Amino acid sequence: MREHYDVLVVGAGPAGLAAAQAAASRGARVGLLDAQPRAGGQVWRHDVRLPAPRAARRAIDKLQGVEVLVRHSVVAAEPTALRVETPQDSRLLSFGALVLATGARELLLPFPGWTLPGVTGAGGLQALAKQGWPVAGKRVVIAGSGPLLLAAADTLRKHGAQVLGIFEQASADAVRSFAWQLRQWPARAWQAAGLRLRLAGVPYRFGSFVREAVGDDAVRGVEIETPRGVQHVECDLLAAGYGLVPNTELASLLGCALDDADTHPRVQVDSLLRTSVANVHAAGESCGIGGLAVARIEGAMAGLMAIGDTAAASAWMPQRDRERRFDALLARHFTLDPRLRTLADDQTPVCRCEDVRLGALAGFGDARAAKLATRCGMGACQGRICGAALAELGRFPRGAARPPVFPARLATLAGLATLPSDAYRGS
């Protein structure tokens, strides 16, 4: 089954929604793909109990002329088509232009006890709560780095969790300076102030990080390194996230150049969001972590570029550039404390899919050699978690992406062939 779209957008978060809407506004046939059951992405993930933010409702409900293809997981990429898996079958979607709005994922770092049940990412626990996983009455420690910790705390509180504290590894000076500079982006400053107000009464500690999660069959407490010494906190859940990492796997399989100047690669785009591959555009967090505002603007730009309206896309450039300056501010103020890279010891699991401990990786200089010898990164997450963590730890950069983009049914892969010249149809 092969369907053709003038524009295909991968990822129905804020960037993808804006891209799809912009592309559809001039009559193009637009498909918006997402592996999740609802549009919204991570930041606007559907909450089973709480109403969506107004901006999210507007972006999702007012989509016009867009075919929203949820539960469509992209499995493999070809020059002008994507192989997609749905719960029922597999489809081949060909495109005239493609917009990658694949967003970002959380950076998890290994520390003793990080694989205990009850330990998740900060955004991870936020997503679980939104999906209805019960957190009411649970004592939660939130730790890690970046503004996402506050958003997670807010959601968890709304779902009835008792947030014991937010432990930000950046120093108090860094966070204060960040807050001061935020005034250049009034909307963000306003949003942050609102969050802080709602979280009044929740301790927000700086220069503090979890050095160990303790417990036998589940987390029972955490050891927190603070500027005033080690503090022990009893808790039921630990939500620890160290910021975000761009999702670049699909871009990489499409042959798009990645910018790997920093620890974690991002999709390389020009000022009009064109990737190195013709007719493939990228928008939002996959091009660098900048937050919601950037994602929405870039989404609109990329959608316009995808239908060839360079002039309309260019009109967004000043606003986009202004918002993108936030990236550097974020990165500078939430730089990870080097001590975070030394928490894991030889016995700490680093690849949880294959239960590989950090000590097993001694002496390996690249991801492939380490994988071949230890299985590190061979599991179902395809190295997404351990790969980013090991890059952050300064061990070695992530290995190259491989098909399938996500684990997929063999039947789906068996439907990969597309070329009409390929006459063979099995035995």
Partner 1 sequence: MNGTAATFDLIVVGAGIVGASCADAASAEGMRVAIVEPGPIGGGATAAAMGHLVAMDDDPAELALAHYSLRLWEAFVDLKEAEFSRCGTLWVARNDNELAAAGQRIARLGAAGIDARLVDAAALYELEPELVPGLAGGMLVPREAVVYPPRVANHLVQRAQSRGARLYAGRRAQSLQRGGVLLDDGTRLSGPVLVATGCALPALLPMLPMRARKGHLVITDRYPGLIRHQLLELGYADSAHGDADSSVAFNVQPRPTGQILIGSSREFHANDAGVSPSMVQRMLERSFTFVPRLRELQALRIWTGFRPTTPDGRPYLGAVPGAVDQWVAAGHEGLGVTTAPGSAKLMLDLIQGRRAAIDPAPYSPQRMAA
Cα–Cα distance measured from residue 366 to residue 374, given in angstroms and rounded to the nearest whole number: 12
State which of positions 5-34 bind partner 1 (CB under 8 A): none
368 binds partner 1 (CB under 8 A): yes
Both tokens of 248, joined, read 């670049």
With a CB cutoff of 8 Å and minimum separation 6, the contacts of 361 are: 350, 370, 374, 376, 390, 395
408 binds partner 1 (CB under 8 A): yes
357 binds partner 1 (CB under 8 A): no
Instruction: Please count the CA atoms within 13 angstroms of the CA of 277 that sit on its side-chain side.
Output: 22
2 binds partner 1 (CB under 8 A): no
142 versus 385: smaller Cβ distance to partner 1: 385
Task: Identify the residue among 55, 189, 317, 413 touching partner 1 (CB under 8 A).
Answer: 413
State which of positions 80-139 bind partner 1 (CB under 8 A): 83
Cα–Cα distance measured from residue 107 to residue 62, given in angstroms and rounded to the nearest whole number: 32
Kindly state the smallest distance separating residue 109's Cβ from partner 1, in Å. Answer: 24
Cα–Cα distance measured from residue 7 to residue 67, given in angstroms and rounded to the nearest whole number: 11
Kindly state the smallest distance separating residue 276's Cβ from partner 1, in Å. Answer: 17
93 versus 305: smaller Cβ distance to partner 1: 93
Both tokens of 396, joined, read 């070695």
181 binds partner 1 (CB under 8 A): no
Q: What are phi and psi of 117, to 5 degrees?
A: -55, 140
**Burial level of 260, CB count in 10 A (0-12/13-18/19+)?**
middle
Positive/negative CA dihedral, 420, 421, 426, 427: positive
Kindly state the smallest distance separating residue 357's Cβ from partner 1, in Å. Answer: 15
Q: C-alpha angle 103/107/109, rounded to 5°?
A: 170
Both tokens of 380, joined, read 């179902």
Three-state SS string over 118-150 comes to CEECHHHHHHHHHCCCCCCCCEEEEEECCCHHH
Binding string to partner 1 for residues 58 to 77, with x set by CB under 8 A, is what?
A: ------------------x-
Task: Identify the residue among 160, 194, 366, 394 touching partner 1 (CB under 8 A).
Answer: 366
276 binds partner 1 (CB under 8 A): no
How many residues bind partner 1 (CB under 8 A)? The answer is: 31
1 binds partner 1 (CB under 8 A): no
Kindly state the smallest distance separating residue 375's Cβ from partner 1, in Å. Answer: 8
Stretch that binds partner 1, among 47-55, 109-117, 342-350, 371-379 (CB under 8 A): 371-379
Kindly state the smallest distance separating residue 256's Cβ from partner 1, in Å. Answer: 15
Cα–Cα distance measured from residue 414 to residue 399, given in angstroms and rounded to the nearest whole number: 25
Token pair 């990870």 is at which residue?
336
Task: Identify the residue among 171, 231, 335, 418 touching partner 1 (CB under 8 A).
Answer: 418
Question: Following DSSP, what letter does each residue of 217-235 receive, concatenated?
Answer: SS--EEEEEETTEEEEEE-
197 binds partner 1 (CB under 8 A): no
361 binds partner 1 (CB under 8 A): no
Task: Identify the residue among 3, 78, 327, 337 touching partner 1 (CB under 8 A).
Answer: 78
232 versus 368: smaller Cβ distance to partner 1: 368
**Footprint on this chain of partner 1 (rule: CB under 8 A):** 76, 78, 83, 366, 368-369, 372-373, 378-380, 382, 402-404, 407-411, 413-419, 422, 424, 426-427
